[in-house]
Every structure is written in C-alpha cells, then in structure tokens.
C-alpha cells in the first residue's frame, strides 16, 4: 500500500492542474453550442475554467491548500458534464466518472 499523502505540495497541485487540463482537452461536447444543453455546458465549462484560473493564482500566492481545492472543483465540473451526458469522455474511466 502506498504511503498516504499528508501534505499538499506544489508538485501535487501541478499534477492535478495537468490532469484537469488533459480532461478539459479530451472531453468533447455532445450537443451544439446554441442548444439548451450546449448553453448549460458552456456555463459549466466557464466554472471549470474559473476554478482552474483560481487554482493557478492560489498556487502563485503559495496557498497550496486552496489551489488544490480549486483544481479539484474544476475537474469536478468537467467530470459532472461527462456524467450527465453533456460531454463525451471517450470511454476514459480513469479520468472521468462515466455514465
């Protein structure tokens, strides 16, 4: 069994920033951008992008706990959009909670 993480490091934050960027790049919309679903997705991805931006800012300030929390929120918005059928996760059950 691996050792448990007991602290948030810049390396951990950077790993999750990279994972979330990969998820954002991999998942693709399942609906046109002007549809009701597409507009909902746009709002969700705006939240994901805002939390990613916040995470980077917190990391730059040295607040790694808030940076780690924010990037996890960002990934959760993307994961949720996959789960409810607004984004296609392309079968990647390591990166997303698939429907």
Tell the burial category of 23 from Cβ atoms under 10 Å away from its Cβ (0-12, 13-18, 19+). buried
97 lies in some domain: no
For the chain, the domain total comes to 1
Dmax (CA) for the chain in angstroms is: 48
The DSSP letter of residue 66 is H
pLDDT higher than 90, residue 98: no
Interval 50-84: pLDDT, tens? 999 999 999 999 999 999 999 999 999 999 999 99
Interval 7-59: pLDDT, tens? 999 999 999 999 999 999 999 999 999 999 999 999 999 999 999 999 999 99
Distance CA 35, CA 25 (A): 21
pLDDT band at 3 (very low <50, low <70, confident <90, very high): confident
Two tokens, residue 74 = 């960002």
94 lies in some domain: no
Residue 58: give the domain boundaries: 10-22+31-88
The whole-model pTM stands at: 0.92
93 lies in some domain: no
Nearest to 39 by CA among 75, 88, 81: 81
């Amino acid at each position: 069994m691996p050792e448990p993480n007991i602290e948030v490091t810049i390396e951990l934050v950077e790993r999750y920033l990279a994972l979330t960027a990969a998820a954002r790049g991999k998942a693709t919309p399942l609906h046109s951008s002007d549809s009701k679903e597409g507009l909902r997705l746009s709002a969700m991805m705006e939240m994901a992008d805002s939390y990613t931006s916040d995470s980077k800012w917190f990391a730059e300030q040295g607040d790694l706990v808030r940076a780690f929390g924010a990037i996890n929120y960002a990934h959760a918005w993307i994961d949720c959009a996959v789960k409810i059928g607004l984004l296609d996760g392309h079968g990647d059950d390591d990166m997303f909670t698939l429907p």
